[in-house]
Amino acid sequence: MHQSLSPCQIDPVRLHVLLGQASRRFSVETLRECSSTSTLLLERARQAAPSGLLLVADRQTAGRGRRGRRWLSSPEGALTFSLLWRFAGNVAQLAGLSLAVGVAVARALEASGVSKIGLKWPNDILFDGGKLGGILVELESAPGSMLAVIGIGLNLQLPAADTEEFLHRPAALAQALSPVPDRHQLLAQLLIELAAILDRFSAAGFSALRDEWQAHHVWQDRQVRLLNGGLLDREGICLGADADGALLLRTATGIERCLSGDLSLRAA
C-alpha cells in the first residue's frame, strides 16, 4: 500500500523532476522521523546499498555532528539528509573529502541566491559569521573500495533550542533570503552540485578544489587556537588548507600541518 507523504515531507517524484539529468545518480528515500539519517544509512551501506542512496528526514531526534554533538531538526527549521557515495581506492585518497563537500554546499547556496557563504575548516558552513550548517563525513572500507556517508544539516530558521551549546553563534537561511527557498529546490541544487564535486574529487582529489575552498575560507590569516579534546593543542596564524585538506598553521616553529581527528578550530 502506498504511504502518503506528510505535508512537509520531501516528495521523491518532485525531487526527481527538479534534478533533471542528475536524477539518475540518486535514489531517494524520505522519512517522517528517525534518530539519525547517517546512522541508518551507514547500516544500509554495510548491507551493500548502492552509491547515490539518499535519506532525507523531516525530523531527526539524534542527528550527529562532530565529536558526538547532537543535531536536532524539524521540517520548518532545517534541511537534514545523508548521502551514500562509493569511491575506488583507499582511505588516503579521500583526504579532504569534507572540505570538498563544503565547496559543493557553498556553490549550491550561492546558486540559490545566498551571497558571502563562508567555509571554516574542517566542516562548518558560515553566513555573516554564524554557523549556517555542518557536514559530517564517515568513512568505512569495503571490498576494493571505500564508502562515505555524507551527512549535511542546514538551518532554514534560527534554532529555538540550544542544539550545540552555542559553541558557535547560529545562522539561518531566513537571515539571507526571504522567502526561504522551497526545500525541494534547495535539496535538488545541493545534490546537483554534490554530484559534480564528488566526480571531480574522485578524479583529482581535493587539490583540484583547493583554490575554490580557499576563496571561501573566512578565517584566512587570523590568529587561532587549535583544541584537541577541548584542551589547547597549539595556536598560530590560520593559512587555510593544504592540497590534501590538512589545516596549515603558522606557529612560532614554522608552518605546521594539522589533520582533523578530534581537532577543533577556535578564534584566539
Q: Is 131 a catalytic residue?
A: yes
Spatial distance between the Cα atoms of 266 and 268, rounded to a whole number of angstroms: 6
How does residue 22 score in pLDDT terms, banded at 50, 70 and 90? very high
Q: Which comes out higher in pLDDT, residue 74 or 146? A: 146
Q: What pLDDT does residue 45 have?
A: 95
Task: Map 64-111 to HEC letters.
Answer: ECHHHCEEEECCCCEEEEEEEEEEECCHHHHCCHHHHHHHHHHHHHHH
Q: What pLDDT does residue 70 have?
A: 52
Least Cα distance to 158 among 102, 80, 78 occurs for: 78
Q: Give me the DSSP letters along the chain.
A: -PPPPPTTS--HHHHHHHHGGGGGG-EEEEEEEES-HHHHHHHHHTTTPPTTEEEEEEEEEEEE-GGG-EEEE-TTTEEEEEEEEEEES-GGGGTTHHHHHHHHHHHHHHHTT---EEEETTTEEEETTEEEEEEEEEEEEETTEEEEEEEEEEESS--SS-TTTTSS-B--GGGT-SSPPPHHHHHHHHHHHHHHHHHHHHHH-GGGTHHHHHHHBTTTT-EEEEEETTEEEEEEEEEEE-TTS-EEEEETTEEEEE--TTEEEEE-
Per residue in 179-205, pLDDT (tens digit) is 999 999 999 999 999 999 999 999 999
Q: What pLDDT does residue 77 have?
A: 87
Residue among 25, 64, 66, 210 flagged as catalytic: 66
Q: Where are the CATH 3.30.930.10 domain residues in the chain?
A: 12-216
Q: Which comes out higher in pLDDT, residue 111 or 62? A: 111
Mean pLDDT of 143-158: 94
Distance of CA 140 to the CA centre of its chain: 17
Per residue in 54-74, pLDDT (tens digit) is 999 888 776 555 444 555 556
Q: What pLDDT does residue 137 have?
A: 96
Per residue in 203-232, pLDDT (tens digit) is 999 999 999 999 999 999 999 998 887 788
Mean pLDDT of 33-50: 92
Query: What Cα–Cα distance (Å) separates residue 168 from each residue in 24, 162, 217?
Result: 37, 11, 16
The residue whose grid cell reads 515531507 is 9
Asked whether residue 2 carries a pLDDT value surpassing 80, the answer given is no
Q: Is 266 a catalytic residue?
A: yes
How does residue 167 score in pLDDT terms, banded at 50, 70 and 90? low
Mean pLDDT of 109-121: 95
Q: Is 66 a catalytic residue?
A: yes
Percent of the chain whose predicted confidence (pLDDT) is above 90: 72
How does residue 264 score in pLDDT terms, banded at 50, 70 and 90? confident
Q: What pLDDT does residue 185 have?
A: 96
How does residue 261 score in pLDDT terms, banded at 50, 70 and 90? low
Residue among 25, 131, 183, 210 flagged as catalytic: 131
Q: Where are the CATH 2.30.30.100 domain residues in the chain?
A: 223-267
Q: What pLDDT does residue 168 have?
A: 75
Q: What is the pTM of this model?
A: 0.90
- Top-tier CATH class for 223-267: mainly beta
Between 3.40.50.2300, 3.40.50.2000, 3.40.980.10, 3.30.930.10, what CATH number should domain 12-216 receive? Answer: 3.30.930.10
Residue among 24, 116, 222, 266 flagged as catalytic: 266
